[in-house]
């Protein structure tokens, strides 16, 4: 007899994540149905307990990064001019001019480091045509 289990997935926030979760879990032998909702951030899996286990399903979701909490940067509140040599974790750029009287540019140059700049579970580096 099939069993249904529900997982809370805090970082399941987009349709591309829903598709990836469905693909990952549907590839496991014994999985009958996968319902994933980015609106409610849950995944409901119906499976045959003789073919797979709840622990195996949780392991696959955890390895893909969907069961961990999403970490947002913390605002320090220290003005850019008073920071010294320490690296800020976050600074509210809309307040920079009022605080430091310096012009703010929202453009930035990010050197490619060989990994995704935004941690998006289930997806790796997007290669350009020039890299192929």
- What average pLDDT does range 7-34 have in this prediction? 92
Give CA–CA dist 100/103, Å, rounded: 9
Residues 76 and 58 in one domain: no
Of 34-43, 88-97, 108-117, give the range with the top mean pLDDT: 34-43
pTM, entire model? 0.56
User: In what helix (H) or strand (E) does residue 54 lie, and over which residues does it extend?
Assistant: helix 54-63
Tell whether the model's pLDDT for residue 11 goes beyond 50: yes
Q: Report the C-alpha gap between 51 and 36 in whole angstroms.
A: 21
Domain boundary among 12, 37, 63: 63
Residue 131 forms part of a structural domain: no
Asked if residue 36 has pLDDT above 70, the reply is yes
pLDDT of residue 91: 47
Q: What is the mean pLDDT of the chain?
A: 76
Let me know if residue 57 belongs to a domain. Answer: yes
Asked if the model's pLDDT at residue 125 lies above 90, the reply is: no
Residue 35 in domain: yes
Residues 54, 13 share a domain: yes
Residue 116: pLDDT over 60: no
* 78 and 121 inside one domain: yes
Q: Are residues 114 and 76 in the same domain?
A: yes
pLDDT one-digit tens code per residue, 72-110? 655 556 655 565 555 544 444 455 555 666 655 555 565
Do residues 83 and 100 both lie within one domain? yes
Task: Work out the burial of residue 79: count CB atoms within 10 Å of its CB; fewer than 13 is exposed, 13-18 middle, 19 or more buried.
Answer: middle
Q: Strands, DSSP E only, in the chain?
A: 3-8, 31-37, 42-47
How many separate domains does the chain show?
Answer: 2
- In 11-123, DSSP assigns E strands to 31-37, 42-47
- Full domain range(s) for residue 43: 3-63
Of the candidates 46, 63, 80, which is a domain's last residue? 63
Quote the crossing angle between the two packed helices 54-63 and 15-26, to the nearest 10°.
140
DSSP 8-state class, residue 34? E
Residue 69 has pLDDT above 70, yes or no: yes
Answer yes or no: are the C-beta atoms of 42 and 66 closer than 8 Å: no
């Amino acid at each position: 007899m099939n069993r249904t289990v529900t997982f809370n997935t805090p970082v399941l926030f987009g349709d591309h994540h829903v598709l990836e979760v469905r693909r990952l879990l549907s590839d496991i032998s014994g999985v009958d149905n996968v319902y994933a909702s980015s609106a409610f951030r849950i995944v409901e899996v119906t499976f045959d307990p003789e073919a797979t286990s709840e622990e195996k399903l949780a392991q696959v979701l955890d390895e893909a990064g969907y069961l961990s909490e999403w970490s947002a940067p913390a605002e320090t509140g220290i003005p850019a001019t008073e920071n010294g040599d320490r690296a800020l974790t976050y600074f509210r750029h809309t307040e920079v001019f009022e605080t430091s009287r310096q012009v703010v540019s929202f453009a930035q140059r990010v050197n490619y480091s060989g990994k995704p700049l935004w941690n998006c579970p289930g997806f790796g580096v997007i290669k350009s045509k020039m890299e192929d």
